[in-house]
Amino acid sequence: MARIAVVGIPGGWSSETLADAVGKATGQRILVDLAQARLDLDTGRLFCGGVELTSLDAVLIKKVAAHYSPQMIDRLEMLRALPARGVLCLSDPERILRLVDRLACTMTLRLAGIPMPATTITEDVSEARDAVARYGSAVLKPLFTSKARGMAVLNAADMDLEAALGAFATDNPVMYVQQAIDLRGQDLGVCFLGGEYLGTYARCKADNAWNTTTASGGKYAPFEPPAEIIELARRAQQPFGLDFTCVDVALTASGPFVFEVSAFGGFRGLARACGIDAAERLAAYALGRLGA
């Protein structure tokens, strides 16, 4: 039977769920945390928690760190040793690298002609101030974040706008300033496995929150998107070539917008809103790829 490890966060729901599914399918449950990784560059061998990952048949990358940070890039670079040694990686770490940095993801989407909210990238506080003035209201987003952590909503009329921008720039020298849009209470997670449409769920915001994330009290709900939304999400995920991915889509009065493409999200939303066991599907997909 194939030996497959899950890269994830021990104790994390999605990591443990995927490790359970792989263990059930293969008879061997292996969950490793990259905080324990050691790469021997002389031999090209990668070890993690007593497991030599470069000796396995496949590795499923669920989470590379508990929180988004530039450290994720370093860990993904280490994982590049696996495909070089013939280990199947789902998804390929080199492809995930294009996603973890919000700016890299945004540039890929915009160059592919995917509709997104108006966005300004700058290191100049005065340019950021002018962007907020043009937009009227804007969301400042760290380049490495998830579930709206570290984000700030600023309005052109704010008396302390300059100070707020300066404070944000202290921790985020490259400022990502995006026009705030009316989500009308929800946005969507449109998920794909092997490039094929899997399902869609809605994230519905709590009454007192500005965003829809579950960290801010948002709830998952079923949603049946029209064909054009599925096709938009399909076009958004295509340039990245991931094996499992979730595309964040907002339905606005001006039409649909894509916020980002994720390599790590989607499991819980699919389970709670759609009754889809993404872990079981991904484990079966991995075994199919190995068999092929």
CATH class of domain segment(s) 119-179 = alpha beta
Beta carbons of 178 and 121 less than 8 angstroms apart: no
Instruction: Tell me the whole-structure pTM to 2 decimals.
Output: 0.95
Assigned token pair, 185:
């209470």
What stretch(es) of the chain map to CATH 3.40.50.20?
4-99
Assigned token pair, 141:
């987003």
Residue type, position 141, single letter: K
Work out the angle between the directed axes of helices 125-135 and 161-171 (0-180°, nearest 10).
Answer: 120
Count of residues for the chain? 292
What stretch(es) of the chain map to CATH 3.30.1490.20?
119-179
pLDDT for 33 equals 97
Low-confidence ranges of the chain (pLDDT < 70): none
From the list 288, 17, 23, the residue with the least C-alpha distance to 5 is 23
**Per-residue pLDDT tens over the stretch 125-138:** 999 999 999 999 99
What stretch(es) of the chain map to CATH 3.30.470.20?
101-115+182-276
CATH 3.30.10.20 at 101-115+182-276, yes or no: no
pLDDT for 199 equals 98
**Per-residue pLDDT tens over the stretch 180-222:** 999 999 999 999 999 999 999 999 998 888 898 988 899 999 9
Distance CA 61, CA 93 (A): 8
pLDDT for 174 equals 97
pLDDT for 281 equals 98
Pairing of strands 186-193, 244-252: antiparallel
**Residues 4-99, CATH architecture:** 3-Layer(aba) Sandwich (3.40)
